[in-house]
Amino acid sequence: MATVTRSFKAQKFASSLVVDVVLILVCLIWVVPTIGIFVTSFRNSQDIFTTGWWTIFPHRAFVDSGVIHVDPTADLNGPISIRGIDGQYTFEQLRAGVHTSDGRLLTWFGNKRTLQINVSSFQWVGFNANLTTKNYTDVLSSDNVSYLDANGNSIIRQGDNLVGSFLNSIAVAVPATIIPILIAAFAAYGFAWLNFPGRKFLFTVVVALLVVPLQIALVPIVQDYTKLDLNGTYLAIWLAHTGFGLPLAVYLLFNYISSLPRDILESAFIDGASNFTIFTRLILPLSVPALASFAIFQFLWVWNDYLVALVFLGSKNQVLTVTLANMVGEKGQDWQLLTSGAFISMLLPLAVFFTLQRYFVRGLLAGSVKG
């Protein structure tokens, strides 16, 4: 019996260890690039072009430790004898870099006429916090910004005015999250607790809409919006996101609301409460976890949406995703601006998720187990 118990504990420990290792790897895969974006967004342009973001932390690297001048009479077309260095090396080898037996790196500087060899030694480099907030100032501004490239040349770019794009994204995402939540909550309550003709058929249609790709609806909606003179307005994209998000919202909230205790609603009916009163006083407060779960889904989807915003807003009232896509095309080599813009776009979604994440799992699992 003791042997069986020990074997069971060993298997449980092994399975738990595997799960923990996998979770740690998944977290690292997500966290390490995020740290890289964050660090790069604070580095100056010349450092980004010449070294990796991890070099700001203590690490071992080759550091210049001196210069050796080659004898002017040496034959540079054959093996070259270097003062203080054992062995002979050709010019081509020295241009590519030669590692000596004592761990130093010899690199020929310039062309043959310089007669100079730079010597680097492999040693620990301390914390190099050469960080700046200029990248964020540049990317948020709409004025001309300047910086130095890898060769020290001054580059002038037009600022991208991410402040305006950030506000446009908020103006799109917040109503496009609240409107479908309110409509879906009413619909889910009706499907869950009210009896009316065609209820099951209509609910089946709603569920079926979950598998319909939104791309097939873009052209008909644009045609209708053009006739109504709505295209390019906030109202157009609010209605579009509401329509695309309603099937999932209704289905998610229906599962939760239908699992609420019937006794509470029956008691309210006996006390004379109307359906609207029950919905506002009982259903909505009890459905906060499900509402928060859908709010996370909808807000993140709308905030990160590119296609719908490009189709219904276009270049007018550009949101963050459209502006960032334009930056990639215009400033593909300006990593300090791209990483700053990318991290700015991450701030609000992360804040929303961490604010509502305590409701997330509870809202998703609600209604999955029937008592």
Whether residue 173 is contained in a domain is answered as: yes
The answer to whether residues 91 and 217 belong to one domain is: no
Q: How crowded is the C-beta side of 43, counted as CA atoms within 13 Å?
A: 27
The answer to whether residues 333 and 229 belong to one domain is: yes
The answer to whether residues 84 and 216 belong to one domain is: no
Whether residue 143 is contained in a domain is answered as: no
- Kindly report the CATH number assigned to the domain that includes residue 358: 1.10.3720.10
Closest to 215 measured CA to CA, from 306, 299, 295: 306
Alpha carbon 334 to its chain centroid, in Å, reads: 19
The answer to whether residues 98 and 171 belong to one domain is: no
The answer to whether residues 112 and 190 belong to one domain is: no
Whether residue 256 is contained in a domain is answered as: yes
184-196 per-position pLDDT tens digit: 999 988 888 888 8
> What radius of gyration, in Å, describes the C-alpha atoms of the chain?
31
Q: Helices marked H in the chain — which ranges? A: 2-40, 45-50, 91-96, 134-140, 162-193, 199-208, 215-228, 234-257, 262-270, 275-278, 284-286, 288-303, 307-312, 320-330, 335-365
pLDDT given at position 367: 47
pLDDT given at position 170: 92
The answer to whether residues 248 and 347 belong to one domain is: yes
pLDDT given at position 362: 62
Helix (H, G, I), strand (E, B) or coil at 64: strand
CA-based end-to-end distance of the chain: 36
Whether residue 131 is contained in a domain is answered as: no
Whether residue 221 is contained in a domain is answered as: yes
Q: Is 117 exposed, middle or buried (0-12, 13-18, 19+ CB in 10 A)?
A: buried
Domain final position from 79, 108, 125: 125
Whether residue 151 is contained in a domain is answered as: no
Enclosing domain of residue 110: 58-125
Overall pTM > 0.85: no
Whether residue 148 is contained in a domain is answered as: no
Domain final position from 125, 144, 176: 125
103-142 per-position pLDDT tens digit: 788 888 877 778 788 888 877 776 666 788 888 887 887 6
Rounded Cα gap, residues 254 and 185, in angstroms = 8
pLDDT given at position 171: 92
Closest to 286 measured CA to CA, from 270, 265, 300: 265
Given its phi and psi angles, is residue 24 left (phi above 0), alpha (psi -120 to 50 degrees) or beta? Answer: alpha
Tokens for 323? 């502006």
Give the list of residues 6+ apart from residue 120 with CB closer than 8 angstroms, or none.
62, 63, 64, 65, 104, 105, 107
The answer to whether residues 235 and 103 belong to one domain is: no
Instruction: Report the amino acid identity of residue 188.
Output: A
The answer to whether residues 111 and 11 belong to one domain is: no
The answer to whether residues 28 and 79 belong to one domain is: no
Instruction: Give me the residues of the chain with pLDDT under 50, please.
Output: 367-371
Rounded Cα gap, residues 273 and 315, in angstroms = 50
pLDDT given at position 257: 86
Rounded Cα gap, residues 345 and 136, in angstroms = 12
pLDDT given at position 181: 92
pLDDT given at position 369: 45
Whether residue 225 is contained in a domain is answered as: yes
Helix (H, G, I), strand (E, B) or coil at 197: coil
The answer to whether residues 333 and 280 belong to one domain is: yes
Q: Output the DSSP codes for 260-310.
A: S-HHHHHHHHHTT--HHHHIIIIIHHHTHHHHHHHHHHHHHHHHT--HHHH
Rounded Cα gap, residues 293 and 296, in angstroms = 5
The answer to whether residues 31 and 76 belong to one domain is: no
Give the list of residues 6+ apart from residue 216 with CB closer than 8 angstroms, or none.
none
Q: How many domains is the chain partitioned into structurally?
A: 3
pLDDT given at position 371: 42
The answer to whether residues 93 and 171 belong to one domain is: no
